[in-house]
Structure formats: structure tokens, C-alpha cells
């Protein structure tokens, strides 16, 4: 182990040149970051010798006080050990995707008589299919499985058949209506269907429909025909390539400012299951680090299509493929397509990345245009709403990474201001909001937006100053869509249709909607109270 009192005192001579895993620790010997390298000395040295590093990496380096390492025989062994140690220690500076937006799976329980359910977590107790970003598609698919294969949905196997059996939605293994072998067959067929084998299920249903028709069970035949039509409609909505016979993931990466944006799209036997979006801080080999973090908790397909190489050499690519294959238990290929259908899938993923790029680009544009100290990843906006001198209220909305976080919206009833005084009211709510964050030792937003002009901005600035806070602050006036800065006499004007201004207007309009809704609710409550008082009078 090498001990250093400051990054500038780092000496690389004692670090071996073998493949291995390196561990960075802080002054309390807590692990900050775990990485792997084909050449340990070169990789570790690059952190301290290269001055052009992302902000997160610079912060990491400033905290390193000791470096430890483990030598292994090959790059694949380094990948396997790194993966194990990251799971064990969960270091702060390694990519962690646990907080990424989660989507629902359709799952089968691992019971004697498996039931079908929806789950947002992958568990060993469940056999999961998905994830599905489109909730309606997932619900349609799950309803189809229940209707076609008659799997149970009850939490506990009842002692007698429930309503689902009597309306034809369950085969009722609880009362012996089907044997264990028959129910297992139904589960196998449902598993095949959820895995994307729609054609096989349609052939089976067509056979059952013909048999029902021959037996003059015309209502049953009509029901099956409806099921076939539903599957075909679902298939048309999801199909990508009916000729593909193996599973793929499509990954598109784009670096923007201090972030890397990623979109993952799963294709299972030609069926597009949806997409997942991620935004992670830049760090060395961030695309490769993302892949390892993503597949630590997700199913690894046979083929991973990427829009750019995530490796520095063919040997490193081979090591990554061998690493993923060892976790999957079967071969895995990493491919950067150059032509054909695979390139089309990558282009589709890049197209899905564009909306996220627009949002993140707006934040970068904001930083540049307003000369902010950092990209405003967290924006909070305030609006005062009143009708006359009564029911003066305020609403605050919060947008992390350009998306509304409705759980952290806040409502304020004005307490200290009498009558209609928008400036004083704005000062009150801003002071109340950030006094509370200060007391809770919570992080401040990167930018505060005020719905209004000079007066409102001045009041908000005074409130922040009274708390000893220096948070970037602007006002957005409705009439001309001008931006007011605290220390500038003249407002700034930008293209109203630019990404930056469209984002600011979206935030401002959402704040207005939210605060107006609170105002209307309070007025309705007062009217209801007065009505109740009138009713109670003799």
C-alpha cells in the first residue's frame, strides 16, 4: 500500500505493472473507489498526472490518502475481482445505478403453482420479464397472459376456487381442477410468450380455436379468436425484427458537459421491451464502467450493441466479453454495428437519447448563458398567487436534471405579510424554504428561479442574504420573457424558442399552475366553511 498526504506527493514506483485491482482510500481508510487495470501502474498514475479530468474525478483525487492493490493473472480476473469488491464495499465514487428510474417487470413466482404479478425489483424468488417502460403495454401483456394461460394471481392458494375461476380467468389449481403437470404446461407456455415467442403462442391458439369450432363450442372459439387478435395487435406495437432468434441489448452513450447520458433498449427475440435512461457523472472509461454497473443487476443478453467502442484495444474488448460470459454462463458479444439491421437498432436508441439530450443541453446552455458556477442540475422555482388581499399563497416546484420532482413540490400560506404585497411575500417564502434546508443540512439547489421581475428578485436576494446564503438567483418575467439578475439593472433577452428558454418557461409555468391550484383549493375550503356555518344557523 502507498500512503500519500496529498495527491501531489504521489509516487508510482512501488505500484506493480501487472493486471489487477486498485483501491483508493480516504484519511479514515474508507474505500472511495475500486477499479481494474491491465497495467496497474499506468492506470493509477493517469489519475494524478492528467490535469484535464472531470469534476467528479478531481474531487476523488483530492480525497485520496492511500492506494491499495491486488495483483491477478489476467484482465478477466481483474474484472471479476473488481465486480466482487464493488458489490461488497459499494464505494462512493463508483457508478451506482440504484437510484435510476425503475420500471416494472412481469414476474412468475417460484412456487409449486406459480402466480403472475407485477414487480419493480428483480429477485431470486421471482422469474422476471422486462422491464417495461410503457405501463399500458405491460398491463395489456399481463392481462393477456392471465386470460390465455389462466394462471393464478392470488397471494395465497385458497382452499376453494375464487371468482377468477368462475369467470374463466384461472385454471384453479387450488381445487384440483388441473393437475400439477397440466398447470406446469400452462406456465411453460406463458414463459415462452413472455419471452417474446408470440408466433408459437398464436399457432397454439389457432389449433385450440379450430378444435373448439369442430366441437361446436362457438363461444369458446370466438374468445380464442379475440385473444389471437389481441396478441397480434400487441405484436405490431412492439415488434422490431421477427427474424432475430436471440436476445440483444442496445446501448447508446453521449457525453455532455460533466455527465454521460445513456439509453438502454432491450430486444428479446425481436420484441422491443422498452427503454431505460441514465445520467451519470463523468469518470475515466465511463462507458465501460456503466456497462459493468448495469449488468451487475440486470440480465445479460447474448449480444450487446453499442454506438461507440467502450474499450481501448481488442484485447480489452475480449476480456470484457469473457467477463460478461462468465457471469451469464454463455457467450456474450460486444458489437459496434456498421451496417444493416443492427445499425438501425443503434440509431433507434440514439434517437431515443435526443429528448434527454435536449433537456441536459438546456442545463448546459443555462450555465453558459448566465455564467453560473456549475451546471444547474437542481432548479427550484417560486410563484406568488393571490386574488385581491385574500388567500395569498405561494408554490415552489423542484426540477432535478430538468425533470419535475413532484414529491418535493412545496406549498406556502403567507404568514407574516398583511394584504397584497408580492415582494414581501416572496421574501417570506424564500426565507422559510432555505432556512429549513439549512436547519436540515440539506443541499441547496443549483439555481433559484423567481416568477417575476426586479422587485421579486430583490426580495428573494435579501431573504437569501439574511441566511448567509449565496445561491444563484434569477427572475423570469412573463410579459417579454426576460431574465432578471439580482445585480443588473437591465434584463437579459434570449431566443424565446431556445432550449434554455423553453426549459425555464416550462419550470415557470409549472410553478404557476401549482400555486394557482393551491390558491383555488383554499378559496374552495373557505366557501365550504362559510356554507357550513350558514347551514348550522337556526
Q: Where are the domains of the chain?
A: 2-89, 104-238, 248-357, 378-525
**Could you give the residue ranges of the DSSP H alpha helices within 286-419?**
286-294, 314-328, 340-370
Strand partners, 305: 250, 335
Cell of 25: 482510500
Share above pLDDT 90 across residues of the chain, in percent, rounded to a whole number: 31
If one compares 411 and 281, the residue with the highest pLDDT of the two is 411
What was the pLDDT predicted at 100? 42
Distance CA 250, CA 68 (A): 35
The overall average pLDDT reported for the chain is 83
Among candidate residues 402, 356, 354, 350, the one with its CA nearest the CA of residue 375: 402
- pLDDT band of residue 14 (cuts 50, 70, 90) is confident
Higher pLDDT, 341 or 505: 505
Q: Domain 248-357 belongs to what architecture?
A: 2-Layer Sandwich (3.30)
Q: How confident is the model at residue 211 (pLDDT cuts 50, 70, 90)?
A: confident
Q: Does domain 2-89 have CATH number 3.40.1440.10?
A: yes
Contact criterion met (CB below 8 Å) for 248 and 63: no
Arithmetic mean of pLDDT, 479-497: 87
d(CA 436, CA 114): 49
User: What are the backbone dihedrals phi and psi of residue 290, each rounded to the nearest 5 degrees, phi first?
Assistant: -60, -45
Asked if 274 and 134 touch (Cβ cutoff 8 Å), the reply is yes
- Confidence check: pLDDT of 121 > 80: no
- What would you measure as the largest C-alpha separation in the chain, in angstroms? 94
Beta bridge partners of 24: 33, 67
Average pLDDT over residues 238-258: 69
pLDDT of residue 239: 41
Question: How confident is the model over 23-35, as a mean pLDDT?
Answer: 92
Cα-based distances in Å from 208 to 148, 150, 227: 11, 14, 11
Residue 498: alpha-carbon gap to chain centroid? 26
Q: Tens digits of per-residue pLDDT, 372-411?
A: 887 898 999 999 988 666 678 899 999 998 889 999 999 9
Mean pLDDT of 472-487: 90
pTM value?
Answer: 0.50
The answer to which of 75-89, 123-137, 201-215 has the lowest mean pLDDT is 123-137
The count of residues in the chain is: 538
Same fold, 2-89 and 248-357: no
* Average confidence (pLDDT) over 300-316: 93
Q: Which pLDDT does position 438 carry in this prediction? A: 92
Collapsed DSSP state (helix, strand, coil) of residue 496: coil
pLDDT at 320: 94
Confidence of residue 4 (pLDDT cuts 50, 70, 90): low
Give the residue-averaged pLDDT of 310-329.
92
Residue 39, pLDDT above cutoff 60: yes
Position 463 confidence tier, pLDDT thresholds 50, 70, 90: very high
Quick count: other Cβ atoms within 10 Å of Cβ 387?
12
Q: Are strands 303-306 and 248-256 parallel, antiparallel or unpaired?
A: parallel
Q: Is pLDDT larger for residue 395 or for residue 237?
A: 395
CATH code for the domain defined by 378-525: 3.30.420.340
pLDDT band (50, 70, 90) for residue 234: low
- Rounded CA separation 458/291 (Å): 47
Nearest to 332 by CA among 243, 249, 273: 249
Q: Give per-residue pLDDT as tens, 146-179.
A: 888 888 888 888 877 777 777 777 888 888 888 8
**How far, in Å, CA of 334 to CA of 310, rounded?**
9
Evaluate if residue 240 carries a pLDDT over 50.
Answer: no
Residue with cell 463508483: 94
pLDDT at 519: 81
**Model confidence at 269, in pLDDT bands (50, 70, 90)?**
low
* Mean pLDDT, range 471-494, rounded to an integer: 89
Question: Which residue has cell 356554507?
Answer: 531
Q: Which residue has 445505478 as its cell numbers?
A: 97
Amino acid at each position: 500500500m502507498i500512503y500519500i498526504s496529498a495527491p501531489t506527493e504521489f509516487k508510482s514506483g512501488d505500484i506493480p505493472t501487472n493486471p489487477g485491482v486498485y483501491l483508493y482510500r480516504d484519511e479514515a481508510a474508507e474505500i472511495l473507489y475500486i477499479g481494474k487495470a491491465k497495467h496497474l501502474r499506468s492506470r493509477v498514475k493517469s489519475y494524478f498526472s492528467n490535469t484535464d479530468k472531470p469534476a467528479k474525478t478531481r474531487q476523488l483525487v483530492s480525497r485520496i490518502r492511500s492506494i491499495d492493490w491486488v495483483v491477478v493473472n489476467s484482465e478477466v480476473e481483474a474484472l471479476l475481482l473488481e465486480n466482487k469488491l464493488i458489490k461488497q464495499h459499494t464505494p462512493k465514487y463508483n457508478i451506482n445505478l440504484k437510484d435510476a428510474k425503475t420500471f416494472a417487470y412481469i414476474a412468475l413466482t417460484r412456487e409449486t403453482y406459480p402466480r403472475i404479478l407485477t414487480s419493480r425489483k428483480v429477485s431470486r424468488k421471482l422469474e422476471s420479464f422486462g422491464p417495461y417502460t410503457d405501463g399500458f403495454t405491460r398491463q395489456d401483456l399481463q392481462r393477456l397472459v392471465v386470460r390465455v394461460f389462466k394462471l393464478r394471481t392470488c397471494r395465497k392458494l385458497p382452499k376453494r376456487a375464487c371468482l377468477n375461476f368462475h369467470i374463466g380467468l384461472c385454471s384453479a389449481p387450488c381445487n384440483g381442477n388441473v393437475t400439477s403437470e397440466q398447470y406446469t404446461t400452462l406456465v411453460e407456455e406463458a414463459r415462452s410468450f413472455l419471452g417474446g415467442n408470440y408466433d408459437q403462442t398464436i399457432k397454439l391458439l389457432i389449433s385450440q380455436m379450430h378444435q373448439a369450432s369442430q366441437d361446436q363450442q362457438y363461444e369458446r372459439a370466438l374468445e380464442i379468436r379475440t385473444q389471437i387478435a389481441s396478441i397480434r395487435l400487441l405484436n405490431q406495437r412492439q415488434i422490431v425484427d421477427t427474424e432475430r432468434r436471440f436476445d440483444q441489448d442496445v446501448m447508446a452513450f453521449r457525453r455532455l458537459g460533466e455527465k454521460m447520458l445513456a439509453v438502454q433498449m432491450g430486444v428479446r427475440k425481436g420484441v422491443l421491451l422498452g427503454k431505460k435512461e441514465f445520467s451519470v457523472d463523468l469518470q475515466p472509461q465511463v462507458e465501460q464502467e456503466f456497462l459493468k454497473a448495469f449488468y451487475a443487476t440486470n440480465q445479460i443478453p447474448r449480444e450487446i450493441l453499442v454506438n461507440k467502442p467502450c474499450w481501448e484495444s481488442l484485447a480489452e474488448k475480449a476480456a470484457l466479453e469473457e467477463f460478461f460470459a462468465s457471469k451469464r454462463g454463455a457467450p456474450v458479444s460486444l458489437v459496434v454495428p456498421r451496417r444493416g439491421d443492427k445499425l438501425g437498432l443503434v440509431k433507434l436508441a440514439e434517437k431515443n437519447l435526443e429528448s434527454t439530450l435536449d433537456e441536459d443541453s438546456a442545463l448546459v446552455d443555462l450555465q453558459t448563458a448566465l455564467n453560473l458556477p456549475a451546471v444547474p442540475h437542481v432548479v427550484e422555482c417560486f410563484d406568488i398567487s393571490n386574488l385581491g388581499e385574500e388567500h395569498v399563497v405561494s408554490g415552489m416546484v423542484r426540477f432535478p436534471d430538468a425533470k419535475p420532482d413532484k414529491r418535493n413540490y412545496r406549498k406556502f400560506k403567507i404568514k407574516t405579510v398583511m394584504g397584497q404585497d408580492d415582494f414581501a411575500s416572496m421574501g417570506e417564502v424564500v426565507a422559510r424554504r432555505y432556512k429549513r434546508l439549512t436547519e436540515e443540512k440539506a443541499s441547496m439547489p443549483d439555481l433559484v428561479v423567481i416568477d417575476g421581475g426586479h422587485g421579486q428578485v430583490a426580495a428573494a436576494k435579501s431573504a437569501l442574504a439574511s441566511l448567509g446564503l449565496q445561491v444563484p438567483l434569477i427572475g423570469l418575467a412573463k410579459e417579454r420573457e426576460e431574465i432578471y439578475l439580482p445585480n443588473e439593472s437591465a434584463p437579459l433577452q434570449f431566443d424565446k424558442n431556445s432550449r434554455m428558454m423553453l426549459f425555464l418557461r416550462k419550470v415557470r409555468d409549472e410553478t404557476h399552475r401549482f400555486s394557482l391550484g393551491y390558491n383555488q383549493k383554499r378559496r374552495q375550503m373557505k366557501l365550504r366553511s362559510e356554507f357550513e356555518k350558514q347551514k348550522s344557523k337556526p
